[in-house]
Structure 1
Amino acid sequence: MPGGRPPSLRTVASWILTHPDALPEKERLKLKSVLAGCPELDALAEHVRSFGQMLTQLRGERLPEWIAAVRADDLPILHTFANGLERDLAAVTAGLSLPWSSGIVEDHVNRIKMIKRQIYGRAGFKLLRKRVLLAS
Structure 2
Amino acid sequence: MRGARDGRRKQGEHAEEAAARYLARKGLHVIGRNFHCRGGELDIIARDGQTLVFVEVRYRGTSSYENPMESVTPRKQQRLIRAANFYLQRHQLWQYPCRFDVIAIEPGRLRRYRAHWIKNAFDAST
TM-score, with structure 1 as normaliser: 0.25
Larger fraction in strand: 2
TM-score, with structure 2 as normaliser: 0.26
From the CA coordinates, give the structure whose radius of gyration is larger: 1
**Greater relative CO (CA pairs within 8 A, separation 6+):** 2
